[in-house]
């Protein structure tokens, strides 16, 4: 989040703004963390349970997982440590634990950045940037093709990146003056 402020030229944001942004990012995670786990996205952007039984998880597992992810965000746990914790507590395989840890922390990071951009009052828009390791064309390409959109835009219904497990896309802020 500090990086997000620095990115838009705010090297020393007021403490109350930082606190507020932090609080909102954690509130976001409490509600939204783990919502992609065991799900897949249809072409129209809606999330549905993954039909492959290997990936499904019970709703109560998702609830617990959400708590674990929120704790990790609050404590600044690294991806590797969170993945190890997930393998141990949820019996996920290593690859899946790693994917969940990476994706969930990336989602929280982007959500925090968005709060920082909003809190700054200097950012009017954003732009989807495809990750360099982006493989098969998917919903991310459609989002990137939209160009600069409003800060609260949902990129055609998929929300901010990462859009799917292991999505390596990012979102860049567009300063108010650049958009004019």
Residues found near Zn ion in the complex (CB under 5 A): 140, 167, 169
Tell me if 148 sits within 8 A of 125, measured CB to CB.
Answer: yes
- What minimum distance in Å lies between the beta carbon of 132 and Zn ion? 11
- What minimum distance in Å lies between the beta carbon of 174 and Zn ion? 19
- What minimum distance in Å lies between the beta carbon of 72 and Zn ion? 22
By CB atoms closer than 10 A (0-12, 13-18, 19+), residue 38 is: buried
- What minimum distance in Å lies between the beta carbon of 82 and Zn ion? 20
Q: Which is nearer to Zn ion, 37 or 169 (CB)?
A: 169
Q: Which residues of 103-120 are buried (b: 16+ CB within 10 A; e: fewer)?
A: bbbbbbbbbbbbbbbebb
Task: State both tokens at 42.
Answer: 């249809």
- What minimum distance in Å lies between the beta carbon of 140 and Zn ion? 3
Q: Which is nearer to Zn ion, 138 or 176 (CB)?
A: 138
User: Terminus-to-terminus CA distance in the chain, angstroms?
Assistant: 25
Q: Which is nearer to Zn ion, 84 or 168 (CB)?
A: 168
Q: Which is nearer to Zn ion, 122 or 156 (CB)?
A: 156
- CA separation (Å) from 144 to 138, 161, 174? 10, 10, 14
Strands lying side by side in the sheet with 123-129? 148-150, 123-129, 170-175
Q: Which is nearer to Zn ion, 70 or 167 (CB)?
A: 167
């Amino acid at each position: 989040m500090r990086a997000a402020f620095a990115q838009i030229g705010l090297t020393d944001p007021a403490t109350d703004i930082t606190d507020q942004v932090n609080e909102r990012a954690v509130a976001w995670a409490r509600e939204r963390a783990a919502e992609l786990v065991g799900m897949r996205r249809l072409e129209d952007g809606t999330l549905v349970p993954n039909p492959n039984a290997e990936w499904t998880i019970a709703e109560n597992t998702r609830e617990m997982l959400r708590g674990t992810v929120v704790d990790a965000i609050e404590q600044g746990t690294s991806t590797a440590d969170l993945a190890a914790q997930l393998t141990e507590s949820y019996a996920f395989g290593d690859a899946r634990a790693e994917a969940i840890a990476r994706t969930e922390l990336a989602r929280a990071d982007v959500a925090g950045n968005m709060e920082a951009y909003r809190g700054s009052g200097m950012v009017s828009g954003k732009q989807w940037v495809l990750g360099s390791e982006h493989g098969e064309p998917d919903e991310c390409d459609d989002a990137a093709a939209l160009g600069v959109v409003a800060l609260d835009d949902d990129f055609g219904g998929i929300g901010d990146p990462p859009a799917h497990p292991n999505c390596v896309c990012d979102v860049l802020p567009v300063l108010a003056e650049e958009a004019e």
